[in-house]
Every structure is written in structure tokens, then in C-alpha cells.
Structure 1
Amino acid sequence: MNRQPAVAGAFYPADPKQLHAMLDQYLTDAETAAKVPKAIIVPHAGYIYSGPIAASAYIRLKKAHDRITRVVLIGPSHRVAFKGLAVSGAQYFVTPLGAIPVDQAAVQAITQLPFVGYGEQAHTSEHSLEVHLPFLQEMLDDFTIVPIVAGDATPGQVGQVLDALWGGEETLIVISSDLSHYHDYATAQRLDKATSQRIENLQYDALSFESACGRVPVSGLLKVAQEKSLTVKTIDLRNSGDTAGDKSRVVGYGAYVID
């Protein structure tokens, strides 16, 4: 069983050449850095809105294109309500750029946790994981993914999954989240700046769904970062008013790294 793309042609181009060209442009425009992150928090909107912000984090994987061989990807559920975390029985996740194998051993290992189960319905139409896959295909060589959709789960539960899959330099953690939704430009800037400060201060219990739609997976990562004495840095903070033009009703996007 393969998980087919649900938002190709909507959130990003369905044509492989157009998709590659768009990604290449975003990544060319982004500033790189010497250090390869262990974990990133990146937005998941349509590429014209959040693609440039996501690219600011993904470009930092360049030096590890042949070293990172597994990506643990956790994003929020937008369409299906459930408790815990949902994995998929799919063998591959497919995008216009090709098929990415799922790390079956890792999936089976975390299903031993009582709050992790198979939930195909949560994965079928979910865009919060899918939009990151072409970026990963553009930046990495051969890799597998551990795709996880987060429902109603605690920071501790997400943290247990991350601890189990943390691995070494071969494993990248990707957390998918947008920030504030549908405020005017100035209000969004103020709210998103405050949220970014909470993220940098590892205040995982101070985030609300109004501040970040991926609050559940973000909070879990911040809890683990606190326990491991790691630091989170904001590398990009913009909103759809900066990228797509309309400033009257915007969605906020941030990119963050744990080196």
C-alpha cells in the first residue's frame, strides 16, 4: 500500500519539472549556515505562502545530504479528530518527485506505545506532512521517513516517541506547524513574535492552538529539548502578507532549528 499525494496541484505543483523549479528557486534564495540542524520546525501551507520560510530551514541540510538517512516527521491533524498519535501502514509515501520508503521497523517499534496506533484516515488527506516531502527529496539523497500525525496528545507522549526515534546524525526530526491564523498583519507580527520567544525559551506548556496549529508536536519537541539541554533558534519569521501580498488577513509562519 502506498500513500498517494492529496494536495499536489493545490498546495504545490503536480508537475515534477515545475515543482523542482519552484523548490530550487526557494532554496537558492535562502541563506545557508555551516551547522546542520538535528531538528527543525517548519510551516506547512501552500508553497506560495510558506515555501520561502520552510526553505530557510531546509537549505541547512545541504551538507548532510548523504548523511541523513531517516526523517521523523510529525504534523498536526487538520481533518480527523483522535487521541494519541497515528502512524500509517503504507510502504511508501508518493510525491510528484517519486516514492519515499517508510521505515517499517521504526513504525512498528513506536506502535508498542499505548497512545500510538495505525490511522490511515488521519494520513489520507493530511497536508501537514505531505508538503514537506518534496523539500526533503530535493535536499537529501536516499532516506526513509517515519510519518506521524498528531491528534490529541500530551507533550510527554510526543516526547516519548521522539526519544525512541532520536538516533544519531543519521536521523533528522521535522516538526510541522504554522503560527497565528487570520489576523491583520500587525497583530500577526506581534502574536508570532511572542510565540517565537516562547519556543526559544522552551516554554512548551505556554503554547496554545491559537498561537501554533502544530502546538502538540512542537510542545513535544520543546519538552525533549529542555530535557536534553538543547537550544532552539528562530531563523525566519514572516507571514502570508510578506509572501503572497494580502496583509488584511494573514497566517504566520516561522522556521526554527535545533543544532
Structure 2
Amino acid sequence: MRIKQSAVAGIFYPDNADELALIVSQLLAKNPQQGCMPVAIQVPHAGLIYSGGIAARAYNRIRRYLNSISRIVILGPAHRVPLQGMAVMDAGLWQTPLGQVQLDNVLTDALISEGRVSVNDMAHAQEHCLEVQLPFLQVLDGECRVLPVLVGQTPLSSVSALIGRVLKEPGVLVVISSDLSHFHSYSEANLIDRATLQQINSLNVEITPQQACGCYALNGLLAYASDHGLKAENLGYCNSGDTAGDKSSVVGYSSYAFY
């Protein structure tokens, strides 16, 4: 069984297991969140010191429901490799400093055979947007298998159909990994992101790559949510200027629950 090795430990999060577990536990403790069980959540994917608090709110939202979640399908953008369509990886385990995460090969193989996704290990090799979600899941200690999917330039209908397909399986939670605007001034980012949040709130599927790097996955979820009567609940927003970054050039972060 192939093991996918961590690509961004020591960069986006600590490579020391004790330090990583402590930081994630502190982020969860400082960002409580309660509410009904979501069908899907949206989380950011920057380094933990930048966006970890906002991500923790979404993970706290699912914390009390982990016993009913057996599979987590994570969709996010390919930052390093140009990608058309949606790509999975050829691996059975994913290694982080906190141990190994089981990947859902059964559902992965089904999606491949149905022609919904292809295997592209190169796209996954150095990608961070999915990997930075794993320490939260490991600290929460959910007995979940993970299915990581990178979403490139993909028709809205295909992403929405994939989300609908996996949600037909028992015990599935969908996680959309996306940051918001990139590299604007603090005040300008707030204006841009406020408009984007309004679009998410209203399930508007016309979010652009300039508004959210994970727009293809996010728009697919918004389309599914609109078609199935889901509500989007904003759990938090900030940008890197609010956390550990310079305010002259910031990245925006949000988290949502869809139910």
C-alpha cells in the first residue's frame, strides 16, 4: 500500500508531532462552535498561524458529530500543477507528523470507474490545500477515511454531480478547501471578501478565481446547495493581516457550514 508522504510539514504547520498537536488543540479550544450537523463545510488552507483559527471553527462544528462521519471527501484547488478536471491520488495512507490517515480507496475506485475523476499523483505531490486539513482531523480523532480530490478547471455541473454522488454514500462529509482574495491591501481585501461572502450566503455560483482560489470546488458546492435547499452559515472571516501577516498584502479566509 503506497503511503503519501507529507509535503508541507515544517512549512504550513510544524513537523514536530507534539508541537503540532498542541497548536491544533489550542486553535480548537479558542474557537468554539456549535450548531446542527452540516452536510459540508468550507475551510481555508493557509499556514496554521494565519488561517488556523478560522478553520478550527468549522472543525469544531463537526466535532460532536464525528461518530456519524465515516468518510470525508476534501475538494480543493491545484496550486502547483495545471489541471483540467478532477484528480485523485494513488495511495492508501497519508503520512503526517501525527501519524497516518486512511484513504478511502473503495470510493476512489468507484469514482474513477465512473469517469468522474482521474489519477494524477504529480498534481498531489506538493499540494498543500488538502494536506493542511489532516492535522485537525487527526487531533479530533475521528475514525474517518479521507478521499482527497483536486479540482482544476472543471464544469460546474461535473463538480456538483460529484458532490451529489459522494453524498449518496453513508456517513460522508464534504469539505471544500479555499482561501478568498489574495495579495490586496487590508482595506481592499475586506471589500472584495465582503462581496464574496455575500455571494456564498446567497449560493451564487459565479465566484471567480480572483475571489477564491478554490472557486471551482466552491461553486460546485454552491450549485449543489442551491439545488438541494441547503443553507450557508458563515462561521468566521479574517485575513492574514488580522493574524500573523503584514497588512499591506493579505489573503482572506472564511469558514462555512452548509446544512
TM-score normalised according to structure 1 size: 0.96
Superposition deviation, residue 169 in structure 1: 6.5
Q: Which whole-Å CA distance do the structure 2 matches of 1:108 and 1:162 have between them?
A: 16
Residue-by-residue CA offset, 1:120-153 (whole Å, 9 max, x unaligned):
0011100010000111112242110111011111
User: Which residue identity does 2:180 align to in structure 1?
Assistant: L
- Which aligned runs of 4 or more in structure 1 are off by greater than 6 angstroms? none
Superposition deviation, residue 176 in structure 1: 0.3
The answer to whether the 8 A contact 1:180-1:212 is kept is: yes
The answer to whether the 8 A contact 2:102-2:144 is kept is: yes
Q: Which residue of 1 aligns with 2:50?
A: 49
Q: Which deviates further from its counterpart, 164-173 or 81-90?
A: 164-173
The answer to whether the 8 A contact 2:40-2:174 is kept is: yes
Alignment size in residue pairs: 258
Equivalent residues in 2 for 1:180-199 (5 A)? 180-199=181-200
Q: Which deviates further from its counterpart, 167-176 or 98-107?
A: 167-176
Q: Which whole-Å CA distance do the structure 2 matches of 1:240 and 1:141 have between them?
A: 29
The answer to whether the 8 A contact 2:71-2:173 is kept is: yes
Q: Which deviates further from its counterpart, 11-20 or 244-253?
A: 244-253
Q: Which residue of 1 aligns with 2:132?
A: 131
Superposition deviation, residue 114 in structure 1: 3.2
Q: Which residue of 1 aligns with 2:255?
A: 255
Equivalent residues in 2 for 1:78-97 (5 A)? 78-97=79-98
Q: Which residue of 1 aligns with 2:111?
A: 110
Q: Which whole-Å CA distance do the structure 1 matches of 2:95 and 2:168 have between them?
A: 25
Q: Which whole-Å CA distance do the structure 1 matches of 2:82 and 2:35 have between them?
A: 40
User: Which residue identity does 1:200 align to in structure 2?
Assistant: N
Q: Which residue of 1 aligns with 2:215?
A: 215
TM-score normalised according to structure 2 size: 0.96
Superposition deviation, residue 36 in structure 1: 2.4
Q: Which whole-Å CA distance do the structure 2 matches of 1:179 and 1:34 have between them?
A: 24
User: Which residue identity does 1:88 align to in structure 2?
Assistant: M
Residue-by-residue CA offset, 1:201-247 (whole Å, 9 max, x unaligned):
1111x211000000010011001001101111111011001111421
Q: Which residue of 1 aligns with 2:21?
A: 20
Equivalent residues in 2 for 1:237-252 (5 A)? 237-252=237-252
Q: Which residue of 1 aligns with 2:226?
A: 226
User: Which residue identity does 2:195 align to in structure 1?
Assistant: A
1:6 correspondence with 2:7 = yes
SS in structure 2 opposite 1:188? helix
Residue-by-residue CA offset, 1:74-127 (whole Å, 9 max, x unaligned):
110001112100011101111111111111110011113435100000111000
User: Which residue identity does 1:61 align to in structure 2?
Assistant: I
Q: Which whole-Å CA distance do the structure 1 matches of 2:31 and 2:178 have between them?
A: 19
Superposition deviation, residue 168 in structure 1: 6.2
Q: Which residue of 2 aligns with 1:72?
A: 73
**Could you say if the C-alpha distance between residues 168 and 110 of structure 1 is closer, same or farther in structure 2, counting changes exceeding 3 Å?**
closer
Q: Structure 2 stretches of 5 or more lacking a match?
A: none
Q: Which whole-Å CA distance do the structure 2 matches of 1:197 and 1:110 have between them?
A: 32
The answer to whether the 8 A contact 2:116-2:162 is kept is: no
User: Which residue identity does 1:194 align to in structure 2?
Assistant: A
